[in-house]
Structure 1
Amino acid sequence: MRGSLGSGVADAIIINGDYLEVVEVKLRRAYDIRPHLVQVAFYCLLAEEILRKRCRKVHLCYPEGCVSRPMSLSLRESVFGLVEAAEKGIEELRKAKPKKYCQYCKYKRLCPFAHGESKNN
């Protein structure tokens, strides 16, 4: 699934009339499900953008059972806040000039920031 917010793969999208529900299946339960909840909410927003239907519920399914949550305003705001923070972080990387320590990084050959190539991207 691709949208202007990013990309990812939802395990299932349930279309129920004018509404969507997104399902994410996990092989094991995390101690803290909040990162999984944000992930499935992100997929929900992508599905809304692509399918032009409102997403009203998200489901996280673990081997022990499923956890369902409404796609609330606070959950939407959490996702958009994280996206905004990521965009700001990427922008800061684009402004950064390569440092001396870049010469020791094993990813230097692959990193566009180490060569200053991403300043205009």
Structure 2
Amino acid sequence: MEVELDRISNLPDELLGKILSNLRMKDGARTSVLSSKWRYKWAMIPQLVFDDGCPDDIVDRVLLSHIGPITKFVLETVNRDSEVLDRWIVPISRHPISGVMLGCHGMGQRYKMPLCFFSCQDLIHLHLSACVETPFNI
């Protein structure tokens, strides 16, 4: 009788995405070296949670490689340039996204969301802190 050693790799992608969502982003990305089956599994993680300690290049790679919908995007940041934040908001606005929590503190002024963000039709939950919520200058 032959025993299958790798039961986890045969789980449905949706379930693997939920499992990987419970790992820190860095650890989730590390799973890509497990086998060829796992190479792009981390890119389907539906919940993207970044803290201020996450390096810019990691956030860039995750967002540019992401496949599929995003159920939650969380970013709490201090003292990042608005150009860097724009670089991250634009790619997430191209995905079906249902939840965004964005805190942009220590910038000296409120972060102005790019206009493309307001085209997110699947957005259900939005929490902005230290951001301008409207695309219009009022």
- TM-score (norm: length of structure 2): 0.23
State the structure with bigger RCO (CA 8 A, min sep 6), 1 or 2.
1
Bigger proportion of residues as strand: 1
